[in-house]
């Protein structure tokens, strides 16, 4: 994979229960190859949008542990300014390219839950808005993740490019794909600087 320019990852699934010594191969590939941008497009009747998901941190950072003799499970949600700014810039550049290709103004929606996750999503929001300020040609809005989910279900045609954190992007893209034929045909690109990994969104659906 390191020697390749592009990687095709098949339909596989990780176990839903703990298996000693097991770690997710797709998560490891994303992290070790610095495939920081997960692009999940949806096209359907009147819908043409892309969800840009940060791909290397958040709740998928793998920092989980048991405490209190196994009675308490703790997961650390890791958000950094560097990764947030990097994914926001990737989303802004994509929105700008799409605007030129489609002949219309570009739109960017920043999705977060900073009203509750004030520190972690607060940092993501702050970093994304700062980067978006470098793109005055784009129409920029922000939505709380629950509102974004509702509007993706109700009025998906209002969206162009959405940028969000790892877990939120994973879930929202599953909502959006309803408008493009369903989870079975949803595709994604995991992109870094000079390398790409492509995979079905559904994993091993059965």
The residues that are catalytic are 60, 113, 146, 170, 174
45 CB contacts (<8 Å, ≥6 apart)? 179
The burial of 152, by beta-carbon neighbours within 10 Å (0-12 exposed, 13-18 middle, 19 or more buried), is given as: buried
Residue listed under structure tokens 């900073």: 114
| Phi-psi label, residue 21: left if phi above 0, alpha if psi -120 to 50, beta otherwise | left
| Residue 96: its H or E element | helix 81-102
Q: Measuring CA to CA, how many Å separate 12 from each of 22, 59, 152, 175, 185?
A: 14, 21, 27, 21, 15
Structure tokens at 170: 């994973």
What is the rounded CA–CA span in Å between residue 132 and residue 149?
A: 22
168 CB contacts (<8 Å, ≥6 apart)? 53, 58, 111, 112, 113, 145
């Amino acid at each position: 994979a390191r020697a390749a320019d592009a990687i095709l990852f098949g339909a596989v699934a990780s176990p839903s229960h703990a298996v000693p010594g097991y770690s997710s191969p797709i998560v490891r590939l994303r992290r070790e190859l610095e495939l920081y941008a997960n692009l999940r497009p949806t096209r359907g009747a009147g819908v043409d949008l892309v969800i840009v998901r940060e791909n290397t941190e958040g709740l998928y950072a793998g920092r989980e542990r048991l405490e209190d003799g196994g009675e308490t499970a703790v997961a650390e949600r890791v958000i950094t300014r560097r990764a947030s700014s990097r994914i926001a810039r990737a989303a802004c550049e994509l929105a700008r390219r799409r605007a030129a290709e489609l002949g219309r103004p570009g739109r960017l929606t920043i999705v977060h839950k900073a009203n509750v996750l004030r520190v972690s999503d607060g940092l993501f929001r702050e970093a994304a808005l700062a980067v978006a300020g470098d793109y005055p040609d784009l129409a920029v809005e922000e939505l709380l993740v629950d509102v974004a989910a509702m509007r993706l279900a109700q009025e998906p045609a209002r969206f162009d490019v959405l940028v969000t954190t790892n877990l939120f992007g994973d879930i929202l893209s599953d909502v959006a794909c309803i408008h493009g034929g369903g989870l079975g045909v949803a595709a994604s690109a995991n992109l870094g600087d000079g390398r790409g990994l492509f995979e079905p969104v559904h994993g091993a659906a059965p």
